[in-house]
A = this chain, B = another copy of it.
Amino acid sequence: MTQTFNAVDPRSGTAGAEFREAAPADVAATAALASTAFADPALGDDAARAALLRGAAARLRGAEAEVVAVAGAETGLPDARLRSELARTAGQLDAFAALLDAGDHVEAILDSPDPDATPIPRPDVRRMLVPLGPVAVFGASNFPLAFSTAGGDTASALAAGCPVVVKGHPSHPGTGELVARELRAAVAEAGLPEGTFAHLLAAGAEVGETLVDAPEIAAVGFTGSTAAGRAIADRAARRPVPIPVYAEMGSVNPMVVTRAALEARAEAIADGLAASVSNFGGQLCTKPGVVFVPAGAEGDAFAAALAERLDAVEPSVLLNRRVRDALAASVQALAARGDVEPLARPKAGDGAAGFDGYRHQPTAYQAPAAAAATGGDLLEEHFGPVVVLLRYGGEDELLAALGQLEGQLSAALHAQPDTDAALLATLTGVLAGRVGRLVYDGFPTGVAVCHAMHHGGPYPATSAPLHTSVGMTAIRRFQRPVAFQAAPAAVLPAALRDGNPLGIWRRVDGELSRA
């Protein structure tokens, strides 16, 4: 019997279009097709894959109006955000195409033979990165475009030469199907095999589990909660052939405001923080969740200024009932603590009831930083437009609390480089040891897609601290090295041939060269 589920408009809570739930048999067929595509030499052609990525980008731009309308109704995200996200999604497809044009992504390394090397002669050895195999991508609910069907995981896996099977997020099924339609068309137009890309929709867990277990799947990309990411990583580790799972999970993205920074620019920081906490319902992986603010009158004024700004924001539409309920429950638990104080005015609808659809009022709480110095739930994520200010007396109290942080995607430091020189150096050292990205005098939301970006971090921010899910180096997750020793010229890939016919950067006898 075919199972179905419905899209839901979180602005009203009303059901929308009906979608067919994929079955485990669909997973097997899809994984087999992906495996066939992976074996097809066509997918090994960098130019064909660049054409696919550019074609998908152009098609998504062409479908903007349709995609934004459907995504808005499925996610409650505003049109301007969705247009921006679509531009980012198309932009990163184009950026990976440009990476393929440059050709350096294979990281070619060549060592000349040396018959006199000791203790043993050195043969001719040439090494490059090759694609890992078919990749399963789990779409995220909070970025229906940029971290979903044609998002960063899909773009980087396709760029690497890996077929992609997307497990679409049931919170935006229509958006996923639209994007998948454009991607499939781009695959065909680029002359690539059908199994290069597939999209499976399911509201239940079984399809995703079957996909992680499928023997053809060589790696998994995931963005979502720590619990779901860990479950997938654990499952993949139990396979007869374990595979890497690149899960980008939870983060409270700690922010530190120094006394000097408050004195210099409290209003500007409050403006930026309020926006970073409340924009798009605070449903960003890099939303600042805990902010360390000095105790005392200036800190009190800052807290009040922040609360005032959050009070002025309309209740945020959250992505779905599950997100709204989880936030309401976690905020209720937070507020019930004796050492936690609400900073915002009570409103009708607080506690998740009383608003239309699935909404939550952006809000702030505060607690003494000392209460977090022994760990515990003050340093846990509240996914949504909620921030906890942790008030610290001195640097020792600040450092003790920071010492309790688990691995994070990012941290932000608001300090005055001159007055705070020593503190800034200390904080940089402490935080660089437990986060993936340090932001100075800014906010971690709005992750730029560029070569240097690192959107990752130690566990539990991710399951794979060596890797990033945003930026050009995300491609490395889906590549493995192969070395060719004393190979005849005829069998060498072009990237490794004498004379460097591709004109790419290569490390030759230890030195980078494009000659």
- Chain A interface (Cβ < 8 Å from any Cβ of B): 39, 41, 83-85, 87-88, 91, 102, 104, 109-111, 117-120, 122-123, 125-127, 130, 132, 233-234, 237-238, 241-244, 407, 417, 421, 424-425, 428-429, 432-433, 435-442, 444, 446, 448, 450-454, 456, 458-460, 463-466, 468, 473, 476-477, 479-488, 490-491, 505, 507, 509-510, 512
Q: Find chain B residues with CB under 8 A from A439 CB.
A: 123, 485-486
Known A125-B452, A237-B234; judge A424-B132 contact (CB<8 A).
Answer: no
Known A237-B233, A453-B483; judge A488-B448 contact (CB<8 A).
Answer: no
Q: Find chain B residues with CB under 8 A from A428 CB.
A: 487, 491
Q: Which residue of B lies closest to A86 (CB)?
A: B119
A111 to B233, CA, bound (A): 32
Q: Which residue of B lies closest to A432 (CB)?
A: B482
Q: Find chain B residues with CB under 8 A from A463 CB.
A: 242
Cross-chain contact A417 with B126 (CB below 8 angstroms):
no
Cross-chain contact B490 with A432 (CB below 8 angstroms):
no
Cross-chain contact B452 with A127 (CB below 8 angstroms):
yes
A284 to B422, CA, bound (A): 53
Known A484-B438, A485-B440, A491-B425; judge A448-B233 contact (CB<8 A).
Answer: no
Q: Find chain B residues with CB under 8 A from A441 CB.
A: 486
Q: Find chain B residues with CB under 8 A from A237 CB.
A: 233-234, 237, 242
Known A468-B481, A482-B432; judge A127-B512 contact (CB<8 A).
Answer: no
Q: Find chain B residues with CB under 8 A from A477 CB.
A: 466
Cross-chain contact B453 with A480 (CB below 8 angstroms):
no
Cross-chain contact B481 with A440 (CB below 8 angstroms):
no
Cross-chain contact B438 with A485 (CB below 8 angstroms):
yes
Q: Find chain B residues with CB under 8 A from A442 CB.
A: 123, 485-486
Cross-chain contact A466 with B244 (CB below 8 angstroms):
yes
Q: Find chain B residues with CB under 8 A from A505 CB.
A: 512
- Nearest CB of chain B from residue A41's CB, rounded to whole Å: 8
Q: Find chain B residues with CB under 8 A from A476 CB.
A: 466
Cross-chain contact A483 with B437 (CB below 8 angstroms):
yes
Cross-chain contact A481 with B487 (CB below 8 angstroms):
no
A423 to B166, CA, bound (A): 36
Q: Find chain B residues with CB under 8 A from A512 CB.
A: 104, 505, 512
A437 to B244, CA, bound (A): 21
Among A83, A244, A437, A454: residue with most chain B CB under 10 A: A454
A392 to B242, CA, bound (A): 32
Q: Which of B130, B456, B488 contacts A432 (CB 8 A)?
A: B130
**Could you show 19 A-B contacts with beta carbons less than 8 Å apart?**
A39-B433, A87-B118, A109-B452, A111-B450, A111-B453, A117-B448, A126-B452, A130-B432, A132-B466, A233-B237, A241-B407, A242-B463, A424-B491, A432-B482, A437-B482, A438-B482, A441-B486, A454-B482, A456-B481
Known A119-B87, A466-B480, A512-B505; judge A488-B424 contact (CB<8 A).
Answer: yes
A39 to B437, CA, bound (A): 19
- Nearest CB of chain B from residue A150's CB, rounded to whole Å: 15
Given A436-B481, A465-B480, output 6 extra A-B contacts at Cβ < 8 Å. A123-B448, A127-B452, A130-B432, A424-B488, A435-B482, A451-B509
Q: Find chain B residues with CB under 8 A from A111 CB.
A: 448, 450-453
Q: Find chain B residues with CB under 8 A from A425 CB.
A: 490-491
Cross-chain contact A490 with B417 (CB below 8 angstroms):
yes
Q: Which residue of B lies closest to A470 (CB)?
A: B483
Cross-chain contact A487 with B453 (CB below 8 angstroms):
no
Cross-chain contact A459 with B241 (CB below 8 angstroms):
yes
Q: Find chain B residues with CB under 8 A from A243 CB.
A: 459
- Nearest CB of chain B from residue A52's CB, rounded to whole Å: 21
Q: Find chain B residues with CB under 8 A from A459 CB.
A: 241-243
Q: Find chain B residues with CB under 8 A from A440 CB.
A: 484-488, 491
A111 to B429, CA, bound (A): 22
A482 to B428, CA, bound (A): 11
- Nearest CB of chain B from residue A428's CB, rounded to whole Å: 4
A41 to B426, CA, bound (A): 12
Cross-chain contact B450 with A125 (CB below 8 angstroms):
yes
Q: Which residue of B lies closest to A442 (CB)?
A: B486
Q: Find chain B residues with CB under 8 A from A453 CB.
A: 111, 125, 127, 483
Cross-chain contact B491 with A479 (CB below 8 angstroms):
no
Known A241-B459, A485-B439; judge A91-B110 contact (CB<8 A).
Answer: no
A444 to B483, CA, bound (A): 11
Q: Find chain B residues with CB under 8 A from A39 CB.
A: 433
